[in-house]
Each structure stands twice: as structure tokens, then as C-alpha cells.
């Protein structure tokens, strides 16, 4: 048994779901776009709570783009075991299948990252298989940032995620570049590193007037969502044109076919992200040289 929830494009003009506005009082009004089909029998949580979770995840993505880029996304929720949100998978940018434990809690939905990650796959064009790192890296990069902007994560939590995960994306011996090294770490975290460097590069070259969001909004406005297949050259061309830079294309040439090592520890220190004195937690240094850039990436400035 599954639930189908239909997300239409988001645009301004109709009130938002009042149950989802407590975290951000200044949310732009968008129409209610979630339609629940089927039964929720077998799940501990009621129908309304599942709808609010999907709706909130959709709003989280739509705020970044200004609207939801895809015309429709069907989300099939399948029952699993336990108390957690399970794995998700996106099919051709049209349908997401995600598993919920029978005893999943409201707190688990509040802390979930999987649905936002999968929804982000519907906002970016599909690419040739060798470029899978670009799609997975984008979803991995944006998911915590967007959830922080929605009030669901702190800035420190976002950078702790990056500081913990990005080392897994660094090239190792025998690496042949992101296009030719399809290991898990390089696909997910190597791709994340590409997008972090691209976002930083765009912001620095334009003195903060443009960011990665301008590139992604332009790609979406040109019809580049998960329902279509684009060549890499078009993604880079549209993104660079929107920012008035060559950051995306030049970074792609450096990282796609060669290892392009990055001194990640030094980069994080310049951003003001370092391991706390005690334990394994990370702390933020607001006096670091690029602390302002770090804050802007998360806060959207």
C-alpha cells in the first residue's frame, strides 16, 4: 500500500499551510499543492502529518528557486519498519519513492533530509551517466543549506556536515577525475566539493552580487529539470551566462578529467570551520578571513 502526494508548481498568491509557518514568519505565500491519495493505515502518524512533511519539504526547495521548477512530482510513500525515514529514489524527475517506518515519529519527519534531497533531483536536468556526480553532488550540497534557510538546521550543523563528509570526496591514488572515477565518495562528496567551490567562486568574482542560485534558477527557467536530459555543455553555458562568469565551466574542466587536489583543511579554516577543542564536534570562527562568505552561503546573502 502506498500514498501518492502530488506537488504542482509553486507560485505566489494563495495562503501557505499555517501549520508550516512557525519556523519562518516571513515565508512568501504559496498555494497548497499536496494531494494525498490512498490510505495511511499501518503508519502511526495521521494523514495530515504526512501531508505537512511533504508540503514543508516542497516549500523548502521552492523558496530557493522562487517557485517549484517541475510541473508535477508524484511522491509514493511506502511502509517500512522502525521509526525512521528510509531510503528514497527519484524516477525520471516525475516520481519519488520513499520509505517510512511504520512507527516513524513526528520528530523524525522534522529532522528528515531524504525527501528534500530527492526533490532537488527533480529540479536539475538529467545528464550522461559519467556526470552523475554533478546531480548527486548538487542535491548533497543544497539539502542542508536549504533546510537551514527553512529553520530546520543551524549554520554550525550545516558546516559540520560538510566538514565531516567532504574528506570522503577528495581524490585518492589512481583517481582520474570526477567524470572517470565513479566511487561513492567521489560521486556524492566529490560532487558536493565541486558545487561548494563553484558557489564560492561565483560569489567572490561578482563581489557577492551573484551566487550559485542565479545559475540554478536560470537552468530551471530554461526548462532544465529532472524530466529532461541535457548535455553538460548546455548546463555550463546557461549557468555561466546567468552569473556573468566562467566559474562553472572552468571548474568543470579542472575537476572532471583530472584529480585536482584541494587543501580542504586550509579551505575550511579560512571559512572559519574547525574541530572544537574537546570531542568530535565542529565550531565556527566568526573572525576567520572568509567567515562572511561562509555565513552568506547558508543565510542566502
Inform me whether the pLDDT recorded for 174 exceeds 70: yes
pLDDT of residue 81: 82
Considering the domain architecture, whether residues 70 and 18 belong to the same structural domain is answered as yes
What does the pLDDT look like over 39-62, one tens digit per residue?
556 778 887 888 889 889 999 999
Considering the domain architecture, whether residues 82 and 196 belong to the same structural domain is answered as no
Q: What is the DSSP string of 26-81?
A: TPPP----EEEES--TT-SS-HHHHHHHHHHHHHHHHHHHSS-SSS-EEEEEEEES
Considering the domain architecture, whether residues 187 and 291 belong to the same structural domain is answered as yes
Considering the domain architecture, whether residues 284 and 150 belong to the same structural domain is answered as yes
Residues 6+ apart with CB under 8 A from 266: none
Residues 6+ apart with CB under 8 A from 253: none
- Look at residues 103, 121, 139 and tell me which one is the last residue of a structural domain: 121
pLDDT higher at 177 or 276: 177
Q: Are 38 and 6 in contact (CB under 8 A)?
A: no
Domain of residue 53 covers 2-121
At 265, list the grid cell: 583543511
- Look at residues 98, 121, 144 and tell me which one is the last residue of a structural domain: 121
Rounded distance between C-alpha atoms, residue 45 and residue 267, angstroms: 43
Q: What is the DSSP string of 125-151?
A: -B--GGGHHHHHHHHHHHHHHHHHHTT
What does the pLDDT look like over 63-99, one tens digit per residue?
999 988 888 888 888 877 888 888 888 988 888 988 8
Considering the domain architecture, whether residues 143 and 179 belong to the same structural domain is answered as yes
Considering the domain architecture, whether residues 110 and 133 belong to the same structural domain is answered as no
Question: How many structural domains compose the chain?
Answer: 2
Considering the domain architecture, whether residues 172 and 199 belong to the same structural domain is answered as yes
Considering the domain architecture, whether residues 134 and 239 belong to the same structural domain is answered as yes
Considering the domain architecture, whether residues 144 and 47 belong to the same structural domain is answered as no
- Helix (H, G, I), strand (E, B), or coil: what is residue 187? helix
What does the pLDDT look like over 143-161, one tens digit per residue?
999 999 999 999 999 999 9
Considering the domain architecture, whether residues 159 and 224 belong to the same structural domain is answered as yes
Considering the domain architecture, whether residues 66 and 181 belong to the same structural domain is answered as no
- Look at residues 69, 103, 121 and tell me which one is the last residue of a structural domain: 121
pLDDT of residue 279: 64
Give the largest Cα separation in the chain, rounded: 54
* CA quadruple 261, 233, 297, 90: dihedral sign: negative
pLDDT over 70 for what percent of the chain? 85
Predicted structure pTM score: 0.88
**CB < 8 Å & 24+ apart, contacts of 273-281:** 273/159, 273/160, 273/162, 273/163, 275/163, 281/160
Rounded distance between C-alpha atoms, residue 144 and residue 159, angstroms: 9
Considering the domain architecture, whether residues 150 and 93 belong to the same structural domain is answered as no
How far apart, in Å, are the Cα atoms of 54 and each of 60, 74, 254, 265?
Answer: 10, 11, 38, 36
pLDDT of residue 41: 66
* CA quadruple 292, 293, 297, 298: dihedral sign: negative
Rounded distance between C-alpha atoms, residue 130 and residue 256, angstroms: 10
Amino acid at each position: 500500500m502506498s500514498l501518492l502526494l502530488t506537488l504542482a508548481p509553486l507560485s505566489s498568491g494563495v495562503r501557505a499551510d499555517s501549520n508550516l509557518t512557525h519556523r519562518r514568519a516571513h515565508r512568501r505565500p504559496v498555494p497548497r499543492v499536496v494531494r494525498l491519495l490512498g490510505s495511511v493505515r499501518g503508519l502511526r502518524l495521521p494523514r495530515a502529518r504526512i501531508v505537512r512533511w511533504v508540503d514543508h519539504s516542497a516549500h523548502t526547495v521552492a523558496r530557493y528557486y522562487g517557485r517549484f521548477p517541475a510541473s508535477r512530482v508524484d511522491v509514493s510513500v511506502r511502509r517500512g519498519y522502525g521509526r525512521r525515514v528510509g531510503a528514497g529514489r527519484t524516477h525520471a524527475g516525475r516520481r519519488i519513492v520513499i520509505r517510512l517506518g511504520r512507527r516513524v515519529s513526528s520528530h523524525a519527519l522534522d529532522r528528515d533530509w531524504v525527501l528534500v534531497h530527492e526533490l532537488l533531483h527533480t529540479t536539475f536536468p538529467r545528464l550522461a551517466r559519467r556526470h552523475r556526480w554533478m546531480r548527486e553532488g548538487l542535491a548533497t550540497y543544497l539539502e542542508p543549506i536549504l533546510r537551514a534557510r527553512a529553520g530546520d538546521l543551524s549554520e554550525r550543523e550545516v558546516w559540520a556536515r560538510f566538514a565531516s563528509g567532504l574528506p570522503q570526496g577528495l581524490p585518492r591514488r589512481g583517481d582520474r577525475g570526477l567524470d572517470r572515477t565513479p566511487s561513492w565518495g567521489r560521486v556524492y562528496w566529490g560532487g558536493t566539493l565541486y558545487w561548494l567551490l563553484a558557489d564560492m567562486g561565483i560569489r567572490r568574482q561578482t563581489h557577492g552580487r551573484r551566487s550559485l542560485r542565479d545559475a540554478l534558477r536560470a537552468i530551471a527557467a530554461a526548462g532544465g529539470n529532472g524530466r529532461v536530459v541535457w548535455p553538460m555543455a548546455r548546463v555550463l553555458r546557461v549557468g555561466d551566462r546567468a552569473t556573468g562568469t566562467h566559474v562553472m565551466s572552468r571548474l568543470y574542466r579542472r575537476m572532471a578529467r583530472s584529480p585536482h587536489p584541494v587543501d580542504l583543511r586550509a579551505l575550511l579554516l579560512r571559512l572559519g570551520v574547525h574541530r572544537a577543542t574537546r570531542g568530535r564536534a565542529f565550531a565556527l570562527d566568526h573572525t576567520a578571513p572568509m567567515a562572511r562568505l561562509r555565513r552568506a552561503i547558508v543565510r542566502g546573502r
